[in-house]
Chains A and B, each alone.
Chain A
Amino acid sequence: MNPEKALPSYLDQSDAVRERFERLKERPKILEVKGLDKVFETPKGETVALKDIHFDTHRREFLCVVGPSGCGKSTLIRILAGLDAQTGGEVLLEGKPVRGPGKDRGMVFQGYTLFPWLSVKRNVMFGLTVNGMGFQEAERQALQWLALIGLEKFADAYPHQLSGGMKQRVAIARALANQPRILLMDEPFGALDAQTRARMQAHLLEIWRKIDITIVFITHDLDEAIYLADRVLVLKAHPGEVQELIEVPVPHPRKMEQFISDEFLATKARLEELIYAHEEKEEGESEEEYDYPDMPRLVEVDDSVD
């Protein structure tokens, strides 16, 4: 590839992609986030984790949230889930304000949060039965979800018998079984190896295509964000603010081969610019700043690795 060849702008969209976004924006808004603030009171003083966050998500949209570590991605998704309360602003789900967790918002965490004492099938049934569904109906539905994620054979296994990728598939099925309006995912594939992660991404897109679900997906992997998302919400740190909401110009259906397409690379270049430019500007005050110490040479001079 010739690096000199100018990439198109990430703002250029083909007709098909533009039409797709027009259709997307005609769909009703599922999630509206208005002027969201979150301040943590700590013994060392206040941390502004989120400041005046605005964005909307339409039905069946796949929204990715990216940003440097510590920019408030997890804080944001926990507020959307109702696990934490915001200090200002509001979150509306289908027009109704979010107060506390509920089964209309499913969540998949980075750590494996399957219930270790329940079999895979019982894990998927959990949400159904706590919401009052009878055992047999819940079991029937759980088996359907396991079929969807391809783990029917493991219905009676315990979580500790599954690989990391399988655990996250079960966690997705468990969240989806409740038929939530929106699925919240906080770096769900962060702990997986590269190969499994790629398979999980394709798998998630497949599930998203098949069912009526809106997904808010947090990641720090830019390739993952572009590959999965309709739109990417870019946050910056200290305080966590929205930098840009980018419409990904890569056409659907998504394929691995698109990773080297011009649209993909242009979008990635833009994301890198937003995230790293900011990191550099902040470097002076960043806690993660690290001066390389003057390291003495501990091998003989003629024994060089370069």
Chain B
Amino acid sequence: MSRTNWFSVQTELSSQAKTVLGVFSFILPILVWSIVSYVPVVWHPLVQITDPGSVSYLQVDMRMPRGPFEDAVAEAQAEGQAPPEGFPANPVYLPAPHEVAEALYTAFVTPPPSKDMPWLHQSLWHSIQVIFWGFFLSSAIGVPLGVLCGAYAPISRLTEPFVEFFRYLPAPAFGALAVAILGIYDGPKIAIIFIGTFFQQVLIIANTTRKLDGALAEAALTLGAGNLQLLTRVVVPGVLPDLYRDLRILLGWAWTYLIVAELIGTTSGITWFITQQARYQHFENVYAAIIIIGIIGLGTDLVLGMLARRFFPWDRNGK
């Protein structure tokens, strides 16, 4: 086996090294989280009560700061009464990995507390639909417009300055307006995802299109291609793998607008689940839901990446 120099600039890693490092990129944060959760000397600023003893204001499972707890113990012992008992704990907003893992499982198998509430997978499915429609509508207009801007300078000058301005406006700021126009259900949520994606999309796709090697267009011209053919048979196929990569990145951004979008009008989808659980301080469920979003996002991207290799076998930048 050859020795790898890990820190030479811009050197490709072997695929084995890539896999190992990729796995470690997940293991490391989980390891940190586990140490903070399971090693009592690390952090653990609170005490979780197992037995209130003689102290009337304490209850089982209550968490209190360590200082006052020790005071209460000392006080009880001084008075010759039963001292309270407890063990070092982290705040309730930092559940341990196994609690979250358990919650991840139970969230899917536990029926909702009342019949008219959705199951977790139904909430998720609703979120996915909102993302899908927001992203789909944005792409249906944004991709062709971006390609046209990239291909034709007049269209670019007519479009991009305004788009450039609009992309600085925070999408959630349009929430109230969207509700007024589109009602309180999915309409305004889809609109927020759309606004958050569309303007970036036009600019990114236009830039990608502009990067097409001009020599290819010239070669096509000398072969007798007309203007429309240049667009459909050179520009579009030439930039397609890069457009696809752009869309993958933009889809990730669309997810980041999801929570804000779902808070608009009637709270729905995974956001409804998260806010409900947070209200009852079931933070392990909150973490579980957040992790599910990450898994769905990463999973979609991995699948899209695999499809890319199949769609664009000539593309050597593909990963």
A residues with a Cβ closer than 8 A to B are 81-83, 100-103, 105-107, 109, 111, 113, 115-118, 126-127, 130-131, 158-160, 171, 174-175, 178, 184
B314 within 8 A of A: yes
Output the nearest chain A residue to B236 by Cβ-Cβ distance: A117
Query: Would B229 and A130 count as touching, CB distance under 8 A?
Result: yes
A-B residue pairs in contact (CB < 8 Å), sample of 28: A81-B222, A83-B221, A101-B222, A101-B224, A102-B222, A103-B223, A106-B223, A109-B219, A111-B215, A113-B213, A113-B218, A115-B238, A116-B315, A117-B241, A117-B315, A118-B237, A126-B223, A126-B225, A127-B224, A130-B220, A130-B223, A130-B229, A130-B233, A131-B224, A158-B313, A175-B222, A178-B223, A178-B224
Output the nearest chain A residue to B221 by Cβ-Cβ distance: A101
Total B residues in contact with A, Cβ cutoff 8 Å: 24
Query: Would B216 and A115 count as touching, CB distance under 8 A?
Result: yes
CB distance from A129 to the nearest CB of B (A): 8
User: In the bound complex, how far is the Cα of B223 from the Cα of A171, in angstroms?
Assistant: 11
Q: B residues 183-231 with Cβ under 8 Å of A?
A: 213, 215-216, 218-226, 229
A103: which of B215, B219, B224 is its contact (CB, 8 Å)?
Answer: B224
Task: Kindly list chain A residues whose C-beta atoms are within 8 Å of the C-beta of B218.
Answer: 83, 101, 107, 109, 113
B137 within 8 A of A: no
B316 within 8 A of A: yes
User: In the bound complex, how far is the Cα of B213 from the Cα of A102, in angstroms?
Assistant: 20
User: In the bound complex, how far is the Cα of B223 from the Cα of A107, in angstroms?
Assistant: 8
CB distance from A138 to the nearest CB of B (A): 12
User: In the bound complex, how far is the Cα of B233 from the Cα of A39, in angstroms?
Assistant: 33
- Chain B 3-19 interface 0/1 with A at a Cβ cutoff of 8 Å (1 = within): 00000000000000000
Task: Kindly list chain A residues whose C-beta atoms are within 8 Å of the C-beta of B224.
Answer: 101-103, 127, 130-131, 178
B residues with a Cβ closer than 8 A to A are 213, 215-216, 218-226, 229, 233-234, 237-238, 240-241, 312-316
Task: Kindly list chain B residues whose C-beta atoms are within 8 Å of the C-beta of A113.
Answer: 213, 215-216, 218-219
CB distance from B45 to the nearest CB of A (A): 59
User: In the bound complex, how far is the Cα of B222 from the Cα of A105, in angstroms?
Assistant: 7
CB distance from B218 to the nearest CB of A (A): 6
Known: A113-B215, A117-B314, A130-B233. A106 touches B222 (CB 8 A): yes
CB distance from B226 to the nearest CB of A (A): 7
User: In the bound complex, how far is the Cα of B224 from the Cα of A102, in angstroms?
Assistant: 5
User: In the bound complex, how far is the Cα of B229 from the Cα of A131, in angstroms?
Assistant: 10
Task: Kindly list chain A residues whose C-beta atoms are within 8 Å of the C-beta of B223.
Answer: 103, 106, 126-127, 130, 174-175, 178
A117: which of B215, B220, B238 is its contact (CB, 8 Å)?
Answer: B238
CB distance from B161 to the nearest CB of A (A): 24
Q: A82-B221, A116-B314 are in contact. List 16 more A-B contacts (CB 8 A).
A: A82-B222, A83-B222, A101-B218, A101-B221, A102-B222, A102-B224, A103-B222, A107-B218, A113-B215, A113-B218, A115-B220, A115-B234, A115-B237, A131-B224, A158-B313, A159-B314
User: In the bound complex, how far is the Cα of B234 from the Cα of A160, in angstroms?
Assistant: 17
Task: Kindly list chain A residues whose C-beta atoms are within 8 Å of the C-beta of B313.
Answer: 158
Task: Kindly list chain A residues whose C-beta atoms are within 8 Å of the C-beta of B226.
Answer: 130
Output the nearest chain A residue to B233 by Cβ-Cβ distance: A130
Task: Kindly list chain A residues whose C-beta atoms are within 8 Å of the C-beta of B225.
Answer: 126, 130
User: In the bound complex, how far is the Cα of B57 from the Cα of A2, in angstroms?
Assistant: 116
